[in-house]
A = this chain, B = another copy of it.
Amino acid sequence: MSTLTGADLTAICTDLHAHPELAFAEHRTAGIVADRLGGWGYAVHRGIGGTGVVGVLANGDGPTVLLRADMDGLPVTERTGLPYASQETGTMHACGHDVHVTCLLGAAADLAARRGEWSGTLQVLFQPAEEVGAGARAMVEDGLYERVGTPDVVLGQHVMPFPVGTVNLTPGPAMAAADSLRVTLHGRGGHGSSPESTVDPVLLAAAVVQRLQGVVSREVGIAEKAVVTVGSIRAGTQANIIPDRAELLVNVRTFDEGVRERVLAAVHRIVDAEAVASGAPRPPEYEQIAGFGVLVNDPEASHRTGAALGDVLTAHDDAIRRAGGAPAVVAMPPIAGSEDVGELAAAAGAPLVYWHVGGADPALFAGVDPASLAGMGSLPAGVAPNHSPEFAPVLDPTLDLGVALLVGAATAWLD
């Protein structure tokens, strides 16, 4: 039994990158994962919450540690120009889940190979459908912990466009709540030359979008934080036909439950009222298409894990410096991105520690103190953020480092 080499990791990651799969459709990815885990002696549980996979390595007495990666890609058309770019039109690993899966496989191999050095139970969990905020819940509701046992701590990581060598671990509230809504606005269709016989849903949708800007600009205080994004607006197909409906996809990010409720109420209030202003024949319809709570890192567990992460960086100082970076564990302010990993911890009643690992070329951050980065909003020019069609972590030494961080964090908890 042997660990994965750097070349192995690169091969796995580029293959996953070339074949991204959308939420709950990660069949190929899950197959690869299950095959590998089985080969290393893990008890493999497949099909939890759809395409979820958990490998369990019971290795004597001691605590149970869950390491988690997410597997799904995004409906984004890749524009990186990489040799291993997506071969699936319109789908891309634009959020780095390929890196997550690869690193967790590397850690699983390493910890299995070195099982003589630790005692306890290791769970490596490959989750579907993180992007839609549904995969963690699906696994939990599908009997996850009844099937694999309940962990004592939940650990995980996300690759970010921070410089290689930078690890961000924010104790307490660390990532945003996110709610996504599909809003259907009803008008009355007709010929474009006779608007007076219609209720124009295009104008209604435009008025809603403009009015929604006021939620953040007028209804959220400066000591609060919120983002309301209309990521999609769609109505009609012809210039001269007034359609009978419009559809908006709205995303709301908040960092506090009270603000979350207030902002969501304001969105509904505005959408409903604008429909009345247009004389809409029917009220708008709402469908919740994703919902993430605030990700909260357990402060004490963060302290313990963060020390281990710092040791890993120190041990990799040479590789980080060769890549142009500098080792640093920082604690940025809460980041606007969202994660559903917290649901795995909450369902287990276990503390959560979730950190961000830099995967960007440090040369792009010349003169920038990593500790001053405040999430994706303050990236230097030329650094593609997550979800961008140009998002492309540098694989070396990010993969090696990602494996080592997971191993280091796990062994901080295993006896």
**A positions within 8 Å CB-CB of B:** 74-76, 176, 178, 180-182, 189-198, 200, 202-203, 205-243, 246, 249-251, 253, 255, 266, 269-270, 272-274, 276-279, 289-290, 333-338, 374-379, 385-389
- Complex Cα distance, B180 from A376, in Å, reads 30
Nearest chain B CB to A178 CB, angstrom units: 7
Known contacts A238-B249, A277-B270; is-contact A227 B193 (Cβ 8 Å):
yes
Nearest chain B CB to A133 CB, angstrom units: 10
Oligomeric state, in number of copies? Answer: 4
8 smallest CB-CB distances across A and B, nearest first, come from: A193-B336, A221-B377, A232-B236, A206-B209, A273-B277, A223-B374, A192-B229, A180-B239
- Complex Cα distance, B75 from A380, in Å, reads 45
**B contact residues around A379 at 8 Å (CB):** 197
Give 10 A-B contacts (CB < 8 Å), ordered by A residue.
A180-B240, A192-B251, A193-B222, A193-B335, A200-B218, A205-B206, A206-B207, A211-B277, A224-B377, A240-B290
**B contact residues around A227 at 8 Å (CB):** 192-195, 222
Q: Is the CB of B236 within 8 A of A243?
A: no
Nearest chain B CB to A151 CB, angstrom units: 28
**B contact residues around A236 at 8 Å (CB):** 230-234, 249
- Complex Cα distance, B389 from A237, in Å, reads 13
- Complex Cα distance, B241 from A338, in Å, reads 13
- Complex Cα distance, B233 from A207, in Å, reads 13
Q: Is the CB of B223 within 8 A of A232?
A: no
**B contact residues around A375 at 8 Å (CB):** 193-194, 221-223
Q: Is the CB of A238 within 8 A of B243?
A: no
Known contacts A240-B387, A253-B193, A386-B191; is-contact A225 B226 (Cβ 8 Å):
no
Nearest chain B CB to A331 CB, angstrom units: 13
**B contact residues around A246 at 8 Å (CB):** 233
> Among the listed B74, B203, B240, B273, which residue makes an inter-chain contact with A238, where contact means beta carbons less than 8 Å apart?
B74
Nearest chain B CB to A228 CB, angstrom units: 7
Q: Is the CB of B239 within 8 A of A385?
A: no
Known contacts A240-B387, A290-B239, A336-B194; is-contact A231 B217 (Cβ 8 Å):
no
- Complex Cα distance, B241 from A337, in Å, reads 11
Known contacts A195-B227, A196-B221, A238-B232; is-contact A388 B269 (Cβ 8 Å):
no
- Complex Cα distance, B388 from A206, in Å, reads 23
**B contact residues around A202 at 8 Å (CB):** 209, 230-233
- Complex Cα distance, B267 from A238, in Å, reads 18
Nearest chain B CB to A186 CB, angstrom units: 15
From A74, A200, A231, name the one whose CB has the most chain B CB atoms within 10 angstroms.
Answer: A231
Q: Is the CB of B232 within 8 A of A388?
A: no
**B contact residues around A338 at 8 Å (CB):** 193
- Complex Cα distance, B238 from A234, in Å, reads 11
Known contacts A206-B206, A213-B213; is-contact A218 B238 (Cβ 8 Å):
no
